[in-house]
């Protein structure tokens, strides 16, 4: 069979993948905290028709060297890279909404599994636990009443003060999450207590994270382990309360990619059509 036929088929497959990735980006143009992806192609192993040879004989008397003659066998998807550039700020005014300015991700626990997200549209559940829209529990450090962290802090759920019934006390007047991620509760008698501080995570290779749905990621063998810290610590960014990070999808670029993938798909289908015509001519040489 003709090599061009299978090369055309491989072109259909990878351009279909590019269409899938681009379509997903466009569909999530308004998804809070969404990070777009791009498709990277690479050629497949080339078939060797004639190997290369070096010069023979003495200088200026023998034959010169020859280059290899190879025919490519198509294309394949090399990677789908996630773009972690920051999205735009959308002010919501909700005190539980948080946006990270700079590097870092929120830590959210679903059951015993830790996931990481840039989507900071959080809220309280009936027990006063700070949760994501999907019910994941936002993680932080429990603080001393003056707002300092204890030695060797460990991750814990961020929960409003509880009364004996396991619900926020009736004399809790207000709460505030500051730019440093500290949750400060104010009671009716004027007392203020720092309850917890939001934790952020960073990675040596964020592009190695795997998407697990709900605008969240999980670690892989190539992402490295999560490095925890708080707002403004080390390379971690600062928090903007009352705002969320919008999707970083560039619609102009995505529609351009849509056209490129469509034309690539059409060109590959033309290769298959031409190869089919050649095979038909070959079969009809003798009638």
For residue 65, what pLDDT is reported? 86
Mean pLDDT of the chain, nearest integer: 92
Buried b (16+ CB within 10 A) or exposed e, 133-168: eeebbbbbbbbeeebeeeeebebebbbbbeeeeeeb
Q: Percent of the chain, pLDDT > 90? A: 75
Mean pLDDT of 238-258: 96
Report how far residue 203's alpha carbon sits from residue 197's, in angstroms, rounded to the nearest whole number: 20
The conformational region for residue 148 under phi > 0 = left, psi -120 to 50 = alpha, else beta, is beta
Query: How far apart, in whole angstroms, are the C-alpha atoms of residue 182 and residue 141?
Result: 9
Distance (Å) of CA 66 to CA 52, 53, 56, 61, 62: 5, 5, 11, 16, 13
Task: Band the pLDDT of 242: cuts 50, 70, 90.
Answer: very high
48-85 pLDDT tens trace: 999 998 888 766 677 888 899 999 999 999 999 999 99
d(CA 138, CA 122): 8
Summarised one tens digit per residue, pLDDT across range 109-155 is 998 999 999 999 999 998 899 999 999 999 999 998 888 898 889 99
pTM of the model: 0.88
pLDDT band of 165, cuts 50, 70, 90:
low
Task: Catalogue the long-range contacts made by 173-178 (C-beta closer than 8 Å, 24 or more residues apart).
Answer: 175/95, 176/95, 176/241, 177/95, 177/96, 177/98, 177/239, 177/241, 178/239, 178/241
């Amino acid at each position: 069979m003709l090599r061009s036929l299978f090369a055309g088929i491989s072109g259909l497959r990878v351009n279909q993948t590019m269409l899938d990735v681009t379509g997903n980006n466009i569909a999530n143009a308004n998804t809070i905290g969404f990070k777009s992806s791009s498709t990277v192609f690479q050629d497949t192993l080339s078939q060797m028709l004639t190997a290369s040879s070096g010069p023979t004989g003495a200088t200026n008397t023998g034959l010169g060297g020859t280059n290899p003659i190879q025919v490519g066998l198509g294309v394949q998807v090399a990677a789908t890279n996630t773009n972690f550039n920051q999205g735009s700020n959308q002010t919501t005014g909700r005190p539980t909404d948080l946006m990270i300015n700079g590097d870092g991700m929120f830590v959210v626990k679903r059951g015993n599994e830790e996931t990481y997200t840039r989507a900071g549209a959080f809220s309280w559940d009936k027990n006063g636990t700070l949760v994501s829209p999907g019910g994941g529990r936002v993680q932080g450090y429990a603080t001393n009443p003056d707002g300092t962290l204890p030695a060797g802090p460990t991750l814990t759920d961020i929960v409003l003060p509880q009364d004996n019934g396991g619900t926020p006390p009736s004399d809790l007047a207000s709460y505030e999450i500051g730019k440093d991620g500290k949750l400060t509760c104010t009671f009716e008698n004027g007392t203020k207590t720092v309850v917890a501080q939001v934790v952020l995570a960073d990675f040596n290779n964020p592009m190695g994270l795997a998407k697990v749905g709900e605008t969240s990621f999980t670690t892989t063998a190539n992402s490295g382990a999560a490095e925890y810290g708080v707002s403004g610590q080390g390379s971690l960014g600062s928090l903007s309360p009352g705002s969320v990070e919008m999707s970083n999808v560039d619609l102009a670029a995505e529609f351009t990619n849509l056209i490129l993938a469509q034309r690539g798909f059409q060109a590959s289908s033309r290769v298959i059509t031409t190869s089919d015509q050649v095979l038909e001519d070959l079969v009809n040489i003798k009638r």
